[in-house]
Structure 1
């Protein structure tokens, strides 16, 4: 059973959601090199921490690579293969995870032409309903040595590969030789030293990030990026939007795996996108962007249900852990509350899983990428960014001031406070967008909006927690459970009202009024 990342404050959803079996994931840190047929591996015993080099091992590997017909996975640097031979035969899914790094997930060999459901699900944001089929075949004769440290610890593995690869349906194959250096327990200093030794011996940095990329070559089409006038408002807005769209797509598999904070980060990227489309209506034509708002809200709500329950569970877990007086039945009642929240969170994850498989979701991702590739520019798009963006920030801050002023006369002050928090968050995101252009004043606006957002958020979070505890109290089955819920309610009420009392002080500190 694959175990999802879990810590003291995070939910282990692997068992509860009965995911398909996937072996433990692995962070692969490696570099690839092209090597001539007469290349000789240099002596590597002098590298940092390397005491000895193991004897050679030889493996015959045969791998079938799977992708959509238009190679969407390859376009994002993702490889999905079924490989026979070697010590790790099976299905391998590799996704970029940083410089020289890929996150690898594995599954048993299973059926030759059927991608394991769990791995197929993890590339849903890229495939978007398109069938995954074999696109290339690679055969490799591999010779490996291991770099050993103290007590025989394997620091790195060096693979010398003679590769033959062909695109599905092609009669001829390409052949080449490449060297891979993969860290095992060694550090990046070793990787850097190995790089220097191999290049000095005649190896050259790999011409492609993967064997598959080399075979497919120009058949892979990268995501289009709009051409805008340098220094224009459109350039600044689209740079920011493009980063958010990338965060949504790359965050999808992490959210499905319930990685720590993954749902939160994906939700924030969705919110930033929504806010940007609202704030930048003078740069992007709202006739095209406004229809995206309800779709983005739908996705944010699906992510928000999971995130809100996650926050509540962690919040109450911390509260209960701090109540030293809980013993016996009361302690059991506290565990019962957390168990119910865990169950609710697990159910929310299942609903999120379902939402992320809907055609509606695929259509939204297509629309967002299309927006970045072919933006519907409005009248102010061509203006210099250092002229247009400060105007945008002025408008956004005036909205914050107006929302704050409305609290005093509001029929429902709590709703007005919540609205002010949302407006402050939108202003914060606008300032984040403008910061590379506007500089220190935008940076200060980010800080001010964040303070407003947080002080209102402290009150709002407490209100939500109290509402949940009030509902739970109606279902309390024992005096001990009612007692625990009452104690928690008192703690939340005190903290919520304390945050509310700090609102005016915080506003005066920020505005000087």
Structure 2
């Protein structure tokens, strides 16, 4: 069993001329009183792979004794000063639940003790005028002993400020001003573990040698790919735990990677990238089962809840719930099986290999505006062709399919524009925004088409069980009308996206 919380904190170190202990922070912003707690003796053993894969991806795993929260702590980066801490009860071995959450980082490599960090901690609680806890400030006397071959020992003093749950991040800035005045300056390491690695001679920093010159098309494409690969790895734990939007964001990241590799074939050799694209398509498809079911479930539930009571006949809510449970379980199984498969780990390794030895083509060193502008325009022209084909068809199933293909093409324009934005600036940003409007409209249209199919299935099942299918028919009619409304809006939205001025702004 695990539990998680978000922690927002900053670390500081007293300068050589700094104070001997913690300063009095009474009166700093809303701080009305300061009370002492502790001292505490904390003993943490950090685990990592032999080549420190966790440290390199800004994650830490420790087994800590002492203090009020003894146990296993997995810390995952979020944004800014905030991290997520996943906790598990104290045990001798790394809990399986935490080991699984680290799979995208470890790729199945074994975890072993690599560092022991002991701290003697003096704690101060900062409270407001009502006595509510605002933050905890601690002064740690730290001793770190490397458990790696040839590792050494290090000692230092450290101040840590951690906000209480629900307290805004602005308090950190207020407290920092007062700490600086007392000679306590921001630490240059994000965690005790990273500092211990550096000061004991086992630094985990890895600098990837750039294969392209700064400012070249290759450098922009590789920087985008690096960002998306890092996002894919970081989103893995959220997807495994079914956190809100975790699966969706991971799926979108797969699509961004696929689109980049497709759109910039003039920069990267497709003989190498096409197999990777195929595996990204597989992963996005597996994740899509759960995400598509989530979207459909929310749409049908909202539709049923929005009907007047006199239009809800029979056990409609109960039938929808049974349908949801059976479909949800199936979709979650797809996600779990995909993320625990060897195929998925091989894909992550292939992405790392692609970044480590990129298959660059001649245009990777060309003129960035020209190369990247052409790539975006190719995707834009494909979208225009898809739209022309779809709009020429009469309403019906064939047109629905064609509009769905146009939606996919609009996404590719958006993602190609994202890669090129550092080079092409406002013109490509405008184009991406217009393509997004087309994509969103067609997305709502596709959701309505899929919902009609699901509602027909529910109506058939209800009829077979001797129930009235009236309510499902009403909802089906609403979704059909919604799809028709989106089709009616499409010509004007497409006219804005196909403005010749947008295209001219990218021509070089």
**Length-normalised TM-score, structure 1:** 0.90
1:399 corresponds, among 371, 382, 395, to 382
> SS at the partner of 1:139?
strand
User: How big is each residue's C-alpha offset from its partner over 1:257-304, in whole Å with a ceiling of 9 and x where there is no partner?
Assistant: 212112111111110111111111101111110111210011000110
Mapped to 1, the partners of 2:68 and 2:306 lie a distance apart of 48
The aligned counterpart of 1:60 is 41
Q: Offset of 1:89 from its aligned partner?
A: 0.8
Higher mean alpha-carbon deviation, 99-108 vs 344-353, is at 344-353
> SS at the partner of 1:55?
strand
Mapped to 1, the partners of 2:66 and 2:310 lie a distance apart of 57
The aligned counterpart of 1:482 is 469
Distance 1:191 1:512, change over 3 A: closer
Matched, 1:287 2:287: no
User: How big is each residue's C-alpha offset from its partner over 1:171-227, in whole Å with a ceiling of 9 and x where there is no partner?
Assistant: 853222111111115433321222222222222322321111112124314362634
Distance 1:379 1:179, change over 3 A: same
Q: Offset of 1:250 from its aligned partner?
A: 1.0
Gaps of 5+ in 1: 1-20
Mapped to 1, the partners of 2:151 and 2:405 lie a distance apart of 63
For 1:15-164, what aligned pairs fall within 5 Å after superposition?
21-23=1-3, 25-35=4-14, 39-109=20-90, 111-112=91-92, 114-164=93-143
For 1:472-511, what aligned pairs fall within 5 Å after superposition?
472-476=458-462, 477-478=464-465, 480=467, 482-511=469-498
**Length-normalised TM-score, structure 2:** 0.91
For 1:319-330, what aligned pairs fall within 5 Å after superposition?
319-326=303-310, 330=314
Is residue 251–residue 287 contact of structure 2 (8 Å, CA) maintained in 1? yes
Is residue 458–residue 496 contact of structure 1 (8 Å, CA) maintained in 2? yes
Mapped to 2, the partners of 1:458 and 1:236 lie a distance apart of 32
Mapped to 2, the partners of 1:475 and 1:306 lie a distance apart of 22
The aligned counterpart of 2:351 is 368
Higher mean alpha-carbon deviation, 116-125 vs 279-288, is at 116-125
The aligned counterpart of 2:450 is 464
The aligned counterpart of 1:352 is 335
> SS at the partner of 2:29?
coil
Matched, 1:208 2:189: yes
Mapped to 2, the partners of 1:479 and 1:222 lie a distance apart of 66
Distance 1:502 1:60, change over 3 A: same
Distance 1:234 1:483, change over 3 A: same
Distance 1:97 1:511, change over 3 A: closer
Matched, 1:413 2:399: yes
Q: Offset of 1:39 from its aligned partner?
A: 1.8
Mapped to 2, the partners of 1:286 and 1:263 lie a distance apart of 28
Higher mean alpha-carbon deviation, 302-311 vs 225-234, is at 225-234
Higher mean alpha-carbon deviation, 125-134 vs 346-355, is at 346-355
User: How big is each residue's C-alpha offset from its partner over 1:277-336, in whole Å with a ceiling of 9 and x where there is no partner?
Assistant: 111110111111011121001100011001000000110111011101257853x32242
Mapped to 2, the partners of 1:326 and 1:22 lie a distance apart of 45
> SS at the partner of 1:106?
strand
> SS at the partner of 2:83?
strand
Is residue 264–residue 375 contact of structure 2 (8 Å, CA) maintained in 1? yes
> SS at the partner of 2:221?
helix
Mapped to 2, the partners of 1:454 and 1:190 lie a distance apart of 39
Matched, 1:182 2:162: yes
Gaps of 5+ in 2: 501-508
- How many residue pairs get matched? 489
The aligned counterpart of 2:503 is none
Mapped to 1, the partners of 2:409 and 2:168 lie a distance apart of 45
> SS at the partner of 2:365?
coil
Mapped to 2, the partners of 1:205 and 1:162 lie a distance apart of 16
Mapped to 2, the partners of 1:228 and 1:95 lie a distance apart of 31
Q: Offset of 1:91 from its aligned partner?
A: 0.9
The aligned counterpart of 1:4 is none
The aligned counterpart of 2:505 is none
